[in-house]
Chain A
Amino acid sequence: QVQLQESGPGLVKPSETLSLTCTVSGASMSSYYWSWLRQPPGKGPEWIAYINNNGGTNYNPSLKSRGTISMDTSNNQFSLKLTSVTAADTAVYHCASGAGWWEHWGQGILVTVSS
């Protein structure tokens, strides 16, 4: 079955860049769209971005152009970079398959923005 696993630092300093990677197993990267979502502590999910199987991307405008999603099909991975982070970016970050509805999710990684 499709499995996703997030990896990256759990602590990022304010104004720096958050970088996360999602490793996909059980599916070809060409089979799905791939998304990043996040969930601040105690709040609901927020969609961040998706990348499709042709490399096309779409972002939540609330990010104000701080985000970049990319894909490495040779390693079955896709990634998220979020620049100029603030405390408001503290959240559990999930990678997931799909765009519009997300069927397979990673367990999530807590990223705290703090000095």
Chain B
Amino acid sequence: QSALTQPASVSGSPGQSITLSCTGTSGDVGAYDYVSWYQQHPGKAPKLMIYDVANRPSGVSNRFSGSKSAYTASLTISGLQAEDEADYYCSSYTTSKFYVFGTGTKVTVL
């Protein structure tokens, strides 16, 4: 099972909105609404930002939102802030009954 495909980097200015993509196949992203997103700052553990495509855990800012269309899931960060600069990973359940992560996107706040 290959890793999900994410752009290596995305940048934006403070206050802007950016969208991160996560592309899979009919065997993972396209098969279930079990996509989650994680934010990771250097040297820290990943932090859950979105689960089941579009649900936010308690305590996560509503500036973060998720969606999915066909084989591509997306994470949108609205009102970009300096603290949003981090690596972001998506993950999906697969038809082979295990979980796969994406290649990761580095978000830079200009």
Size band of the interface chain B makes with A:
20 to 34
**What's the dominant secondary structure at chain A's contact region?**
loop
Stretch at the interface among B13-21, B74-82, B97-105: B97-105
Is B89's CB within 8 Å of the partner chain A? yes
Number of A-B contacts (CB under 8 A): 55
Is B45's CB within 8 Å of the partner chain A? yes
A102 to B38, CA, bound (A): 9
Chain B positions 31 through 60: 1 when the CB is less than 8 Å from some CB of chain A, otherwise 0? 000101010000011111001100001000
Stretch at the interface among A9-17, A56-64, A72-80: A56-64
In the complex, which residue of chain A has the Cβ closest to the Cβ of B89? A44
Question: Which listed residue (B57, B93, B96, B103) contacts A44, Cβ 8 A?
Answer: B103
A85 to B48, CA, bound (A): 29
The 3 closest A-B pairs by CB, nearest first: A101-B51, A105-B45, A101-B36
Give chain B's interface residues, CB within 8 Å of chain A.
1, 3, 34, 36, 38, 44-48, 51-52, 57, 89, 91, 93, 96-104
Give chain A's interface residues, CB within 8 Å of chain B.
43-47, 58-62, 94, 99-103, 105-108
